[in-house]
């Protein structure tokens, strides 16, 4: 190992695989007779097994939360600025777990994995999965690892929804929950953006009803468009103006449909990059899981009633420029918890970067998380 | 804030064990921490300053970031037993609005504020200078205070807003003042309700 590992890094990590043979009944009506999850861990589980923290990932995230890989030193975990020795989620104190969700495309059972029943790739036949299903599968992983109760479950965006759902599905198994840049359910506008993304994929001629693997192609154009529209919603108007403004690649109008404005270049680049590594079926499944999430639904829309089961201490964080999941949506969660006399703190971080702010190491944000994690007794 | 512990003591006396308490402008959560320890309250602070909010989190106090000038939108009517605002009312623009909101979400409101009619303050004005004292520690050019009022002014405001003064204690730099509070007291602490 000649490569320098930066200070406060968990260093080189290796994904692990857990097998499950007890059938998992899914909310959408399907069943997975057997499945596997890919996960990573950082830090050491203490003798009392009381210091485990589960980090839930968002739409395009994975189990690779922190550190790098020996064979891919530049592949740094998506929340590496948060997790590590001396970082806000300190791996000297906590045993941190990242899991690739069911239906994901980073190695856990999902559309791009073999269906044991047929011996072929699942493709579009992989069943619909929900946030609740993910939590259920994560709980089974915790069982395998001997973790009865998490010190904390944390996540941003869709990951925050999983963290919230943990507090509702397994109140006795989670001490603290951090819900960051999330919402208690999607708005019609959120669903609309997801639907545009899905239509881009579904109408790509190379989608082949989701069985594109068999045709040796990928619906790259659809996936690219989906990412482009998604990406717009992750940034703020201000941050786009700041970063790109109306800057022209050639310094003048060329009156063509080639890249002219820098923002076009950026979106195309992001879209192409994403289409190169992400799976279209996973994108479809995951956006549907987002759309379906609504714990208050079975309580007639009453979020106070829905959150009554939660016993964990909560931290809710939003970002001032996040219009995808605006601060107002986070406040709904906060007030519902308060009305149930649950312990909850809420911060609205002034950050220009929109929804993506939750991935940044903005000083106030990370100080807040440090303070919150510091108070958790393990 | 430690200089004003006597206002904390009064507030604590008015809180019953196990109450639901909201503390507006909670700072680093010192008062709530105290109420949690001696009254086992289920307490929530409201703070809009990020550094102070961080202090509350470090103190293990529930704290919610909110701009009080916009009221307490989202909180249920009558949810809290007591809604406290300790030495912050004078720093708010929307005085009547926040009092209304406090008595909407709380059964009772507890408000303390520096009395601009305190004799030392009057003397200072007579001498031609804006008052600076223990209860008004800032200079005119850097004060966070935006409303300047006396105990008599506040009584009149309660009167016209249908707010019942259930109890009032007044202090001269920590000592209880029983007579002529508008002249002799530097700080007043009120327990308020709605007139039935």
User: Could you report the per-residue pLDDT of A3-29, keeping only the tens digit for each?
Assistant: 566 789 999 999 999 999 999 999 999
Instruction: Look at residue B1 and tell me whether its pLDDT is greater than 70.
Output: no
Q: In angstroms, rounded to a whole number, what is the distance separating the alpha carbons of residues A358 and A365?
A: 8
B54 to A345: CB separation less than 8 angstroms, yes or no: no
- Chain A: residue whose CA lies nearest to B58: A371
Q: How far is CA A26 from CA A30, A102, A103, A115, A133, in A?
A: 5, 11, 12, 16, 6
Residue-wise pLDDT for B84-121, tens only, equals: 999 999 999 999 999 999 999 999 999 999 999 999 99
pLDDT for B16: 98
Contacts of A269 (CB under 8 A, 6+ apart): none
Q: In angstroms, rounded to a whole number, what is the distance separating the alpha carbons of residues A173 and A130?
A: 20
Q: What is the DSSP string of B76-93?
A: PTT-EEEEEEES-GGG-S
Question: Which site among A308, A345, A369, A374 would you substitute to test the B interface, given the most B Cβ atoms closer than 10 Å to its Cβ?
Answer: A345
pLDDT for B3: 45
Supply the pTM of this predicted model. 0.96
Residue-wise pLDDT for B56-86, tens only, equals: 999 999 999 999 999 999 999 999 999 999 9
Question: Which site among B50, B75, B78 would you substitute to test the A interface, given the most A Cβ atoms closer than 10 Å to its Cβ?
Answer: B50
pLDDT for A4: 62
Contacts of B145 (CB under 8 A, 6+ apart): B90, B91, B114, B136, B138
Contacts of B68 (CB under 8 A, 6+ apart): B24, B25, B46, B48, B88, B92, B94, B98
Q: In angstroms, rounded to a whole number, what is the distance separating the alpha carbons of residues B43 and B9?
A: 16
Cα of B57 to nearest chain A Cα, Å = 6
- Cβ atoms of A177 and A153 within 8 Å: the answer is yes
Residue A16's nearest CA partner among A40, A52, A34 is A40
Residue B106's nearest CA partner among B84, B89, B82 is B82
Residue B48's nearest CA partner among B33, B64, B62 is B64
Q: Is A262 exposed, middle or buried (0-12, 13-18, 19+ CB in 10 A)?
A: middle
Average pLDDT over residues A332-343: 98
Enumerate the active-site residues of A.
157, 322, 355
What does the angle CA B15 – CA B16 – CA B22 come to, to the nearest 5 degrees?
50
Supply the ipTM of this predicted assembly: 0.94
Instruction: Look at residue A260 and tell me whether its pLDDT is greater than 60.
Output: yes
Q: How far is CA B95 from CA A231, B34, B146, in A?
A: 43, 27, 10
Instruction: Look at residue A335 and tell me whether its pLDDT is greater than 50.
Output: yes
pLDDT for A3: 54
Average pLDDT over residues A293-307: 98
A335 to B60: CB separation less than 8 angstroms, yes or no: no
pLDDT-based confidence at B174, cuts 50/70/90?
confident
Percentage of chain A with pLDDT > 90? 98
Number of C-alpha atoms within 13 angstroms, CB side, residue A21? 0
Residues 64-83 of B with CB under 8 A from A: 64-65, 74-76, 79
Give the one of A341, A349, A364 whose C-beta lies nearest to B20's C-beta.
A341
Contacts of A41 (CB under 8 A, 6+ apart): A16, A95, A96, A97, A98
- Cβ atoms of B16 and B40 within 8 Å: the answer is no
pLDDT-based confidence at A346, cuts 50/70/90?
very high
SS3 A102: coil
Phi-psi group of A49: left, alpha or beta (phi > 0 → left; psi -120 to 50 → alpha; rest → beta): left
Give the one of B44, B57, B61 whose C-beta lies nearest to A338's C-beta.
B44
Q: In angstroms, rounded to a whole number, what is the distance separating the alpha carbons of residues B183 and B186?
A: 8
């Amino acid at each position: 190992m000649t490569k320098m590992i930066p200070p406060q890094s968990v260093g080189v990590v290796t994904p692990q695989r857990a097998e499950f043979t007890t059938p998992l009944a899914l909310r959408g009506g399907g069943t997975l007779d057997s499945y596997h999850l890919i996960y990573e861990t950082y830090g050491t589980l203490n003798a009392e097994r009381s210091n485990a923290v589960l980090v839930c990932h968002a739409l395009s995230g994975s189990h690779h939360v922190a550190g790098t890989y020996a064979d891919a030193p530049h592949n740094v975990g998506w929340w590496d600025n948060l997790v590590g020795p001396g970082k806000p989620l300190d791996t000297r104190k906590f045993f941190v777990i990242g899991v690739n969700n069911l239906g994901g495309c980073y190695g856990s059972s999902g559309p791009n994995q073999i269906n044991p029943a047929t011996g072929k790739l699942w493709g579009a036949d992989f069943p619909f999965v929900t946030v609740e299903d993910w939590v259920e599968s994560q709980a089974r992983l915790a069982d395998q690892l001997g973790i009865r109760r998490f010190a904390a479950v944390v996540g941003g965006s869709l990951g925050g929804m999983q963290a919230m759902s943990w507090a509702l599905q397994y109140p006795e198994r989670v001490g603290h929950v951090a819900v960051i840049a999330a919402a208690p359910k999607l708005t019609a506008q959120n669903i609309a953006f997801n639907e545009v993304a899905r239509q881009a994929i579904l109408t790509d001629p190379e989608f082949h009803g989701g069985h594109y693997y068999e045709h040796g192609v990928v619906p790259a154009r659809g996936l690219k468009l989906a990412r482009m529209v998604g990406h717009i919603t992750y940034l703020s108007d201000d941050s786009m103006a700041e970063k790109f403004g109306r800057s022209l690649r050639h310094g003048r109008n060329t009156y063509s449909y080639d890249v002219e404005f820098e923002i076009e270049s950026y979106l195309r680049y992001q879209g192409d990059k994403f289409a190169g590594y992400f799976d279209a079926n996973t994108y479809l499944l995951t956006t549907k899981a987002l759309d379906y999430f609504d714990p208050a639904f079975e309580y007639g829309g009453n979020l106070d009633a829905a959150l009554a089961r939660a016993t964990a201490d909560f931290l809710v964080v939003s970002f001032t420029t996040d219009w995808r999941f605006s601060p107002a949506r986070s406040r709904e969660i906060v007030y519902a918890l308060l009305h149930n006399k649950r312990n909850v703190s809420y911060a609205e971080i002034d950050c220009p970067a929109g929804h993506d702010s939750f991935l940044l190491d903005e000083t106030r944000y990370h100080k807040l998380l440090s303070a919150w994690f510091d108070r958790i007794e393990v | 804030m430690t200089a004003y512990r006597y206002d904390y003591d009064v507030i604590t006396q008015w809180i019953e064990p196990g109450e639901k308490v909201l503390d507006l402008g909670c700072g680093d959560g010192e008062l709530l921490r105290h109420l949690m320890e001696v009254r086992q309250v289920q307490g929530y602070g409201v703070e809009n300053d990020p550094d102070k909010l961080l202090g509350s989190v470090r103190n293990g106090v529930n704290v919610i970031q909110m701009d009080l000038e916009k009221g307490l939108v989202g909180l249920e009517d009558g949810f809290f037993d007591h809604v406290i605002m300790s030495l912050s009312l004078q720093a708010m623009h929307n005085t009547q609005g926040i009092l209304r909101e406090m008595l909407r979400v709380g059964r009772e409101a507890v408000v303390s504020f520096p009395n601009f009619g305190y004799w030392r303050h009057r003397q200072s004005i007579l001498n031609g200078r804006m008052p600076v004292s223990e209860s008004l520690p800032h200079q005119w050019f850097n004060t966070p205070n935006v409303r300047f009022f006396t105990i008599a002014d506040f009584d009149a405001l309660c009167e016209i807003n249908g707010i019942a003064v259930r109890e009032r204690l007044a202090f001269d730099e920590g000592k209880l003042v029983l007579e002529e509070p508008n002249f002799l007291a530097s700080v007043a602490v009120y327990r308020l309700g709605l007139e039935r």
